[in-house]
């Protein structure tokens, strides 16, 4: 979509998919009308759809120079003939509002539906549903899964133009039934029913107890916690379980019959028309294991099973939580990276890295004492201080760099002492050098990622400051 403006003639030309429309605005004496026209231009509101509401934008559009006018305040559009269309309104922070209007013959609006424009993303993994992540035997296959942004009510539609006659070339004979095995029983397959559900579901409030809230980029986010025994929590879990298969490698569904599951839900809180609306951002599932203790008999240990932030909202700081110590069940590489970064940031804030003992070689007793204060597991604490040391280390200082390498190699040797017994001295030194090089490359990758994230946060902060100055 391209918009060009000629300041002399005050003409606006809109080019959409090789179709163009010229609107010649005559001079008017009314300044209020001119301000409305300018407001229309600033908001960049374009007609994107005509006559066929079933096709998702963007699509080919030809307006045939039909006259239209906007009446601000009444949210009404006047057109010369009976149509059904949708309007895309591009707003700040890429918030897109989808409005549907159905006109009757007398020019009045029969139906108004205002919802947030769908955010589209694709699954990362599908091998747990479709073997080899491929579907063969169909022409122009389109699998569409839609979720209501608040309670994640699911809509499923499978479309294709043709199908091969010989079934041996079809990898999945019934795609819809295959997907339904991983979707809740309440899945909707009728688009009319689904959009009717969206229109009626305007007073949703997340279930559970609100345990935290924070602001990011002038948006409010809230965290809700609840047990799986809560029927409303169970409903959302059934709807969102397929996200774990799509976004976590090797993930599986949790057992909703087990009452020890705790569910944490993250929502963005939006206010429109004096009413609060909630948009689902991500979730975490936590299992409560029994904690064996001589002093207490009702303690439990929380273990994260799944931690998902939907792709459109990732790398926005939603994983920054000040947890003391928690066990992660079979963490993925991405989750381990996030854990490394947050633990290092927390240790920096605590001032541990500013103590005089924090230089290679670090005394082992100091490490044990600092680890107890930080409440981070010993292996993870070693990893954090080694990354922090490498970040501060001047590699040109040969003595300090050698002591750093020797300290890491000693730790590796002690940890794998039993495995090194089968090698001679030269082979052990070679294995240690190879292992160290691999660890150093991984540490440098984490350091580079942290610097990039810090620059991104600084850029976001600068933009916010500039916006405050301008406003």
**Enzyme catalytic residues:** 329
Place of tokens 């294709």: 160
Q: CA 126, CA 244: separation in Å to the nearest integer? A: 10
Compute CA 181 distance to the chain's CA centroid, rounded to the nearest angstrom: 25
CA atoms within 13 A on the CB side of 311: 12
147: enclosing H helix or E strand: strand 142-147
The closest alpha carbon to 337, from 256, 446, 464, belongs to 446
The closest alpha carbon to 193, from 242, 233, 146, 243, belongs to 146
Burial of 272 (0-12, 13-18, 19+ CB in 10 A): exposed
Q: CA 118, CA 309: separation in Å to the nearest integer? A: 17
Supply 294's token pair: 């001589």
Supply 433's token pair: 């050098």
Burial of 99 (0-12, 13-18, 19+ CB in 10 A): middle
Q: Quick one: DSSP state of residue 27? A: P
Cβ–Cβ under 8 Å, residues 291 and 300: yes
Q: Quick one: DSSP state of residue 129? A: T
Place of tokens 């240990």: 301
329-337, Cβ contacts within 8 angstroms, sequence gap of 24 or more:
329/287, 329/303, 329/304, 329/305, 330/250, 332/248, 332/249, 335/307, 337/446, 337/449
Cβ–Cβ under 8 Å, residues 191 and 144: no
247: left (phi over 0), alpha (psi -120 to 50) or beta: alpha
State how far the alpha carbon of 427 is from the alpha carbons of 298, 416, 432, in Å.
50, 14, 9
The closest alpha carbon to 407, from 367, 360, 374, belongs to 360
The residues, any chain, with a CB within 8 Å of residue 290's CB and separated by 6 or more, are 299, 300, 301
The residues, any chain, with a CB within 8 Å of residue 113's CB and separated by 6 or more, are 99, 100, 195, 198, 199
Q: CA 436, CA 127: separation in Å to the nearest integer? A: 34
């Amino acid at each position: 979509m391209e918009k060009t403006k000629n300041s002399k003639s005050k003409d606006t030309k809109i080019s959409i998919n090789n179709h163009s429309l010229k609107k010649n605005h005559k001079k008017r004496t009314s300044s209020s009308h001119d301000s409305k026209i300018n407001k229309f231009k600033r908001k960049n509101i374009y007609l994107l759809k005509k006559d066929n509401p079933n096709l998702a934008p963007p699509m080919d559009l030809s307006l045939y120079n039909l006259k239209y006018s906007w009446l601000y305040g009444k949210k009404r559009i006047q057109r010369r003939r009976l149509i059904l269309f949708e309007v895309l309104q591009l707003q700040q922070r890429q918030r897109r509002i989808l409005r549907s209007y159905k006109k009757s013959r007398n020019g009045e609006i029969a139906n108004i539906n205002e919802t947030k424009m769908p955010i589209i993303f694709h699954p990362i993994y599908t091998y747990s549903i479709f073997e080899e992540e491929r579907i063969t035997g169909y022409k122009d296959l389109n699998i569409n899964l839609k979720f209501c942004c608040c309670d994640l009510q699911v809509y499923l539609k499978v479309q294709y133009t043709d199908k091969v006659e010989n079934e041996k070339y079809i990898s999945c004979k019934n795609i819809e039934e295959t997907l339904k095995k991983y979707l809740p029983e309440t899945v909707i397959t009728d688009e009319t029913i689904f959009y009717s559900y969206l229109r009626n579901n305007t007073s949703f409030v997340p279930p559970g107890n609100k345990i935290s809230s924070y602001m990011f980029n002038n948006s409010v986010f809230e965290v809700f916690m609840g047990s799986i025994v809560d029927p409303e929590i169970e409903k959302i879990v059934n709807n969102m379980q397929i996200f774990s298969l799509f976004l976590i490698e090797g993930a599986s569904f949790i057992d909703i019959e087990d009452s020890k599951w705790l569910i944490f839900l993250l929502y963005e809180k939006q206010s429109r028309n004096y009413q609060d609306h909630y948009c689902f951002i991500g979730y975490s599932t936590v299992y409560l294991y029994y904690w064996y203790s001589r002093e207490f008999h009702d303690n439990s240990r929380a273990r994260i099973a799944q931690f998902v932030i939907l792709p459109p909202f990732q790398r926005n700081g939603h994983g920054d939580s000040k947890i003391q110590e928690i066990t992660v069940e079979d963490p993925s590489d991405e989750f381990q990276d996030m854990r490394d970064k947050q633990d290092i940031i927390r240790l920096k804030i605590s001032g541990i890295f500013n103590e005089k003992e924090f230089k290679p070689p670090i005394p082992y007793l100091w490490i044990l004492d600092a680890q107890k204060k930080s409440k981070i597991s010993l292996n993870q604490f070693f990893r954090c201080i080694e990354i922090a040391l490498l970040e501060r280390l001047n590699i040109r200082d040969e003595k300090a760099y050698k002591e750093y390498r020797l300290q890491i190699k000693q730790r590796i040797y002690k940890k794998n002492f039993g495995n090194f017994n089968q090698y001679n001295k030269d082979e052990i030194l070679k294995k240690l050098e190879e292992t160290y090089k691999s660890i150093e490359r991984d540490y440098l990758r984490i350091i580079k990622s942290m610097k990039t994230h810090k620059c991104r946060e600084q850029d976001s902060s600068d933009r916010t400051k500039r916006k405050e100055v301008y406003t």
